[in-house]
Amino acid sequence: MFLLAMATFANQAMIELGVLRAQALQVDETYFAACAARGTAIGEYPPAGCHDNKAPLIFLAHQAVQWLATPYDIAAIKQAAFALVLSVAGLAAWLAWRLSPPKTAVFAALSAAALVVQALLGVDVSLMALKTEMIGIAFVLMSLLVCLPRAGLVSAGRWALAGVFAGLAVMSKQTFALSAFALVGWGAFTALQAPSQQRKAAMTKCVCLVVGLCTPLIVLLTWFALDGRVDEFLASIFLYPSVYGSPPTTDSAIKRAIWRFAHILHTLSLSPLVLACFCIGSVAVFARVGESVDGESRAHTAPGLIGIVIPTTFAMLSVTLIAPIFFDFHLVPSLVL
């Protein structure tokens, strides 16, 4: 399955960089490229706001591509997009390997990578474009990887780093705040469940997570405030997303409910394999709680494993109900399970 997925990806890349070289994977890429070029021309790194509701990291990514190539070089944008897709698949494989027993780690890693690529290619090739969703999901996977303990408990520094990655995901796409909130909720829950003698240290780690989560927003807010562009930044982050993708406010509550339900059915129908894998993986994770191997309890590994399931489940359900049009990318961590 892994070889088939990689061969399919390579074939698609050859087509996109061959006969379709001058055609963007998705129209949003042209908007982002134009915004990035405009920002570079007037000395804004990155633009505080340009294309409706987009957070600034996507413009910075396109400015980096243009710095390495030239403005409006669609082929260069595609190359960066394909590299990002492979990075996401690699992060998913790494996370699956970390979550799995040694005997099945390699199989789990290859399966996760294959499923990610298969899901993106199988739904729509435009999902592989250099867009906010792909950048955000890469940061989410990094955050989850940092949260997993290597030996013993996760240090406060790693919790802070996980928060920074989650914060960068939010600065890529605001809907990733749902995953960030779930991560903070899990951190608070584990802190409250810690033995009394360890509770203070656990709460300190949770605070480090929150501080890390807020750091990207504070840095960008300060950057744009010093440059006199804070209003544009805040509008792009908070104002426009509050109405984006919503049905007209004049519609009745019943009509809006039907609209959301239709989108949920649509997105669910695109990824049945993904959902099946998530359900199987979730059951397997919880079944391993308290399992003993060679007479030794594996219960200590449960928090790390369940810590993946809870944020993933929260993100899936919340995004499905709140913003179903962004559902597909929030499923990627589920593939790992």
Q: What is the DSSP string of 183-220?
A: HHHHHHHHHHHS-HHHHHHHHHHHHHHHHHHHHHHHHH
Asked whether residue 142 carries a pLDDT value surpassing 90, the answer given is yes
Question: Looking at residue 300, what is its pLDDT?
Answer: 45
Report yes or no on 285 lying in a domain. Answer: yes
Q: Helical H runs in the chain? A: 2-16, 27-41, 57-68, 74-99, 105-123, 132-147, 156-170, 177-193, 196-226, 230-234, 253-270, 272-287, 302-322, 327-330, 332-336
Asked whether residue 303 carries a pLDDT value surpassing 80, the answer given is no
Query: Quick one: what percent of the chain has pLDDT higher than 70?
Result: 78
For the chain, what is the domain count?
1
Question: Looking at residue 253, what is its pLDDT?
Answer: 74
β-partners of residue 292 are 297
- DSSP states along 285-337: HHHTTT-EETTEE-GGGHHHHHHHHHHHHHHHHHHHHH-GGGHHHHTHHHHH-
Mean pLDDT of 249-277: 67
Mean pLDDT of 293-298: 45
Q: How far apart are the first and last CA of the chain?
A: 16
- Distance, in Å, from the CA atom of 156 to the CA atom of 205, rounded to the nearest integer, reads 5
Question: Looking at residue 297, what is its pLDDT?
Answer: 45
- The residue segments making up the domain with residue 193 are 2-243+264-336
Q: What is the dihedral of CA 163, 168, 170, 171, to 10 degrees?
A: 150
Mean pLDDT of 35-47: 91
Report yes or no on 315 lying in a domain. Answer: yes
Report yes or no on 287 lying in a domain. Answer: yes
Report yes or no on 301 lying in a domain. Answer: yes
Report yes or no on 232 lying in a domain. Answer: yes
Mean pLDDT of 111-127: 80
Report the chain's mean pLDDT, rounded to a whole number: 81
pTM above 0.75, yes or no: yes
Report yes or no on 162 lying in a domain. Answer: yes
Report yes or no on 213 lying in a domain. Answer: yes
Most confident of 29-33, 49-53, 62-66, 190-194: 62-66
Asked whether residue 108 carries a pLDDT value surpassing 70, the answer given is yes
Asked whether residue 307 carries a pLDDT value surpassing 80, the answer given is no
Report yes or no on 248 lying in a domain. Answer: no
Q: pLDDT tens, 144-162?
A: 899 887 655 678 899 999 9
Long-range contacts, stretch 200-206, CB < 8 angstroms, 24+ apart: 201/156, 204/156, 205/154, 205/155, 205/156, 205/159, 206/159
